[in-house]
Amino acid sequence: MSKQLPPSVSPETFALHGGYDPARSEGAVKPPLFATSTFAANTSAELAGWFGQAYGLDGKPPRAPDGLIYSRLVNPDLQIFEERWSVYEGAEQSALCASGMAAIVTTLLTLCRPGDTVMYSTPVYGGTDFFMEHTLPEFGIRTQSFPATATSEEVAEMIAELARHDQKVKVVYLESPANPTLSLADVEGIAQVVREMGATRPMIVVDNTVLGPVFYRPLALGADIVVHSATKSIGGHSDLIAGIVCGTGEMIANVKVTRTIFGTMSDPHTAWLLLRSLETYKLRVEAAAKKTEKIIAFLRVHPAVEEVFFPDTCGGAQSDCARSQCSGHGSLLSFTVHGGREEAYRVLDHLKVVRLAVSLGSTESLAEHPRTHTHSDIAPADLDRFGITEGMIRLSVGVEDADDVITDLAQALDELL
């Protein structure tokens, strides 16, 4: 017998039960893997009607059809995950994409046209930086960077200055906290000044990969769209690649049209794995965050460590932003060692528990050298400007015993003494 969830359940409960009726799948408690490329209709007219809905051929905006057609358009595993994730993020709709970069590219190419300008905060993930600096201009879309720590008034003035030079800012793109400096953007303040610009205002897109909705909810702060690399803490087991776009129903419907035509949707097996991961998402990220606090306390007093980068550690406006806009600080941090690349490499190469790898948000702790690994395609002068130094190490804390990770870091850092 089909049973409906009470409307007041929390996101973590909805992540276990929402969007799925076991009665429609032979009573299976977990959603099955719908490993199929296409779906059968009962009649030709029924199938034609579904295509009309999917492509807007019936005089209405494109939308999810009443029936399943083809997995490039929609698949039950994607549908269930998108519905569950929307509840977590506080969004009307979500779109699951093939990777974090697929989510970013699909979103920006949905919103922007030749002649538009994208303003984006820096630093950002290396792939995002390359897309902004090199790829979008090839499509006739201009880009303009600004520091992630810029005030809302400074961002508003930049938009006005670009307008005086006949540049229409279509999107303000924020990666917050920034990777790998962990600088927070004032999403709420920027959203407020941008919305005061009226109907022609830019859209605000926020990359929420680092903290996620357990600790940070940009839509509630005024953002229009949130993107994630679901490869990271959402997937959380280093065994999949995916991305998510979240926002209003109208916006995500447009993103899904682009996703269908570009073919940037995720596959059923990845969506099925994400459904597994989502059940423990809050437990994992909260556990890792708690362990991170203990590890940071160790790093701050080790004589080989020069500086630790973590939300709410800089004081002033950054601390104010962290306290007012975030409910936690996550499990990603960076720190610099005395010396430079040689010293950072020596530490990384002596780690035994922490893996030398370039992802974050997984169950295992991971470390890397941003300047020559994840951000190596950024110009050295820009890396200097962003504060991504030769001595910086990025550490993503997993769910191992915190004392084991501290012991491992200690023996590696002691190599510098």
Task: Please indicate, yes or no, whether residues 249 and 360 belong to a single structural domain of this protein.
Answer: no
38 part of a folded domain:
no
35 part of a folded domain:
no
The CA angle 34-35-41, to the nearest 5 degrees, is: 65
Task: Please indicate, yes or no, whether residues 392 and 248 belong to a single structural domain of this protein.
Answer: no
Give the model's pLDDT for residue 2.
54
The CA-to-CA distance between both ends of the chain, in Å, stands at: 67
Task: Please indicate, yes or no, whether residues 262 and 285 belong to a single structural domain of this protein.
Answer: no
52 part of a folded domain:
no
410 part of a folded domain:
yes
Task: Please indicate, yes or no, whether residues 101 and 202 belong to a single structural domain of this protein.
Answer: yes
Give 38's DSSP letter: B
The CATH number that applies at residue 122 is 3.40.640.10
**CA dist., res. 211 & res. 271, Å (int):** 21
**Burial of residue 357 (number of CB atoms within 10 Å: 0-12, 13-18, 19+):** middle
CB 132 within 8 A of CB 156: no
Task: Please indicate, yes or no, whether residues 243 and 165 belong to a single structural domain of this protein.
Answer: yes
**CA dist., res. 143 & res. 179, Å (int):** 19
Beta strand pairing call for 203-207 and 168-175: parallel
Task: Please indicate, yes or no, whether residues 247 and 295 belong to a single structural domain of this protein.
Answer: no
Give the model's pLDDT for residue 1.
46
CB 339 within 8 A of CB 416: yes
Q: Which of 412, 211, 369 is nearest to 292 (CA)?
A: 211
For residue 351 the two structure tokens come to 């780690």
Task: Please indicate, yes or no, whether residues 213 and 97 belong to a single structural domain of this protein.
Answer: yes
Residue numbers of the domain that contains 330: 281-416
CB 103 within 8 A of CB 94: no
Task: Please indicate, yes or no, whether residues 286 and 181 belong to a single structural domain of this protein.
Answer: no
Give the model's pLDDT for residue 316.
73
**CA dist., res. 188 & res. 213, Å (int):** 15
Model confidence, pTM? 0.94
pLDDT truncated to tens, each residue of the chain (417 aa)?
456 788 788 988 988 889 888 988 989 999 999 999 999 999 999 999 999 998 889 888 888 889 999 999 989 999 999 999 999 999 999 999 999 999 999 999 999 999 999 999 999 999 999 999 999 999 999 999 999 999 999 999 999 999 999 999 999 999 999 999 999 999 999 999 999 999 889 999 999 999 999 999 999 999 999 999 999 999 999 999 999 999 999 999 999 999 999 999 999 999 999 999 999 999 999 999 999 999 999 999 999 999 999 986 556 778 888 889 999 999 999 999 999 999 999 999 999 999 999 999 999 999 999 999 999 999 999 999 999 999 999 999 999 999 999 999 999 999 999
Give the end of a domain, one of 243, 267, 291: 267
244 part of a folded domain:
yes
CB 368 within 8 A of CB 344: no
Rg, the chain, Cα only: 22
The CATH number that applies at residue 289 is 3.90.1150.10
Domain count, the chain: 2
295 part of a folded domain:
yes
For residue 4 the two structure tokens come to 């409906």
Task: Please indicate, yes or no, whether residues 205 and 335 belong to a single structural domain of this protein.
Answer: no
Task: Please indicate, yes or no, whether residues 228 and 361 belong to a single structural domain of this protein.
Answer: no
State the CB neighbour count (10 A cutoff) for residue 33: 15
Give the end of a domain, one of 220, 239, 267: 267
CB 172 within 8 A of CB 155: yes
CB 182 within 8 A of CB 335: no
Give the end of a domain, one of 232, 267, 302: 267
Task: Please indicate, yes or no, whether residues 256 and 296 belong to a single structural domain of this protein.
Answer: no
**CA dist., res. 270 & res. 6, Å (int):** 28
Residue 277: HSE in the Cβ half-sphere, 13 Å Cα cutoff: 25
29 part of a folded domain:
no
CA dihedral 194, 195, 201, 205 (to 10 degrees): 70
Using DSSP's 3-state secondary structure scheme, residue 21 falls into: coil
42 part of a folded domain:
no
Task: Please indicate, yes or no, whether residues 129 and 243 belong to a single structural domain of this protein.
Answer: yes
